[in-house]
Amino acid sequence: MSTPLRRAPAVLAVLSLLIVSGCAGTPDREGTATPAPSSPSSTGPTAPPDPGVRAAQLVGTLADEDLVGQVLMPYAYGNSASEVSAGSAAGNKRLAGVETPAQMIAKYRLGGLILVGFSADDPTGGNQPTTNVDNPTQVRELTSGLQAAAGKLPVGAVPALIGIDQEFGVVTRISEGVTNLPSAMALGAAGDPALTEAAWRSAGTELAALGVNVDFAPSADVLGANSKVIGSRSYGSDPKAASNQVGAAVRGLQGAGVAATLKHFPGHGQTAADSHKGLPVVTQDRKQLDASALPPFAAGIGAGAWLVMAGHLDVRAVDPGVPATFSRKLLTDVLRTELGFTGVLVTDAMDMAAVAEQPPGQTAVRALNAGNDLVLMSPNVTEAYDGVLAALRDGSLPRARLVEAVTRVLTLKFRLADRPRPEMSTLNSAGHQEAARRAATASITMLRGKCGAAPVAGPLTVTAADGRGTSRDRLIKALRAAGVKVVPSGGKVVHLVGYNDGAGDLRADAAVTVGMDTPYLLGRAKSPVLLATYSSTAVSISALADVLAGRAKPTGRSPVQVTGLPRSSCPAG
């Protein structure tokens, strides 16, 4: 890292590279770039230069060290940019040889950071080594500190990318003090892209207020298997319906100024295995992939998604034995060439078991050579940085490939630059709560039972599988608020089951069984009434209470097939 600075190629060379990738205007008949006009009229105000052109100009001024840093997006320990506990300082020392997130940005000239955390039932919790998300005020102060540190870098005119996995449902990093949407599968059950777009625009506005500008959502995975790691994170099993939902989520998020990320390319829903624990194998042939897995990615790209995340998946029909993260055939030939994606391609977390067997420097270089532009959550930042820098200088990572990646990252940053940050008062605002409520109400699905004023007469006794006490208490409170009599025992039993619960968690005496995650378990329940919320967020529980009270009709339709049950026993109409 003490090697003398070397400069990137001249700006014209970078612009030529951008022409090929479609980032800097369009080629005219002579093959030269025609930049976007600077303003709609000669007398009007001058518009800012095209983000791709601005990125190309900036890349031409950067040293090797800056280029390398811009393609790394690690996590860090500590809930503040510059003041952390002794434990967090020790964690950062192990991870990157520094004590604070701000020092990490400065030392490695980072393109950004991802905020990390975990919650109950989170299938991604295994690769979340810490949490730096406590509450909205803390998150805003943290992101402000991170941006201040990034502003001192040579690329300082552009914002750092601050990302988060805010999918809602079981993968929700920030849950307190913000509007919580129902899960993706719940939105799929509601089946109304307009509701999805409005809900995600509300969520995006709140993320922007917190200083988050990249959301690693939505999941574009079509659920072709009973996958515990994807499950209710998917909009469902129908590629066309999922495509409509994914496009709506992208428009909502990016309409609020937060970059959306389609994941996990080319589709994690086609396998039940978990890439946090090993390398899943996708066995579908290419025709099946084209028909079932790829349509939501194509739809999200058509909606303008600025990022795609590569999945750690062995896709046998395209590049057998090679994780998609490292596959040029998948990332360049399929995603770039066939689907026409020109934005930022980011790896899934590089600390996951599927790709973590090799040294971090080696995996980072492999990912970049395959076509990724951003390396996420390396298990050792120092090794990743040094490995990429060494590969750049010995030619095993072509300079043109790194320049291309950095140009895409900076283009995204210029897209996000100069956007006004919403006020914190937008959090949990009435309009945002209403958007979430409408979506949740439309998602509640009856899979067994008769449509009527209320599915079952009270008084009710609410029970839940082990670990579902919070949901039980929420439902009791919401039912009483809706005027339903709830008794500790002796009433008609409403029983709640959730993520990863099994047949042993069912109750034979339940009058109503409610599935708060994927609805597959309901196929084994004997209750005369079966309802699905697909989500245990407060807004979904409140919508369930309205249905049980007879104040709302369960008009949702299951977006996955449950053995022995219809998609709905209470269709809209």
Give the residue numbers marked as catalytic: 276, 348
Are 533 and 466 in contact by the 8 Å Cβ rule? The answer is no
DSSP assignment of 399-466, as one string? HHHHHHHHHHHHHHHHHHTTPPPPPGGGTT-HHHHHHHHHHHHHH-EEEES--SS-SS-S-EEEEE-T
Task: Report the b/e string of 56-94 with b at 16+ CB within 10 A.
Answer: bebbbebebbbbbbbbbbbbbbbbbbeebeeebbebbee
Residues contacting residue 64 through CB under 8 Å, at least 6 positions apart: 3, 5, 6, 7, 8, 389, 392, 393
Task: Report the b/e string of 109-130 with b at 16+ CB within 10 A.
Answer: bbbbbbbbbbbebbbbebbbbb
Residues contacting residue 503 through CB under 8 Å, at least 6 positions apart: 521, 524
Task: Measure CA of the first residue to CA of the last residue in the chain; give whole Å.
Answer: 67
Residue 116 CA from chain centroid, whole number = 12
- Residues 188, 557: Cα–Cα separation, whole Å: 8
Least Cα distance to 267 among 219, 217, 299 occurs for: 219
236: left (phi over 0), alpha (psi -120 to 50) or beta: left
Q: What's the Cα-to-Cα distance from 95 to each of 77, 91, 115, rounded to whole Å? A: 9, 6, 15
Tokens 């194509």 correspond to what residue? Answer: 298
- Residues 160, 211: Cα–Cα separation, whole Å: 10
Tokens 């190629």 correspond to what residue? Answer: 9
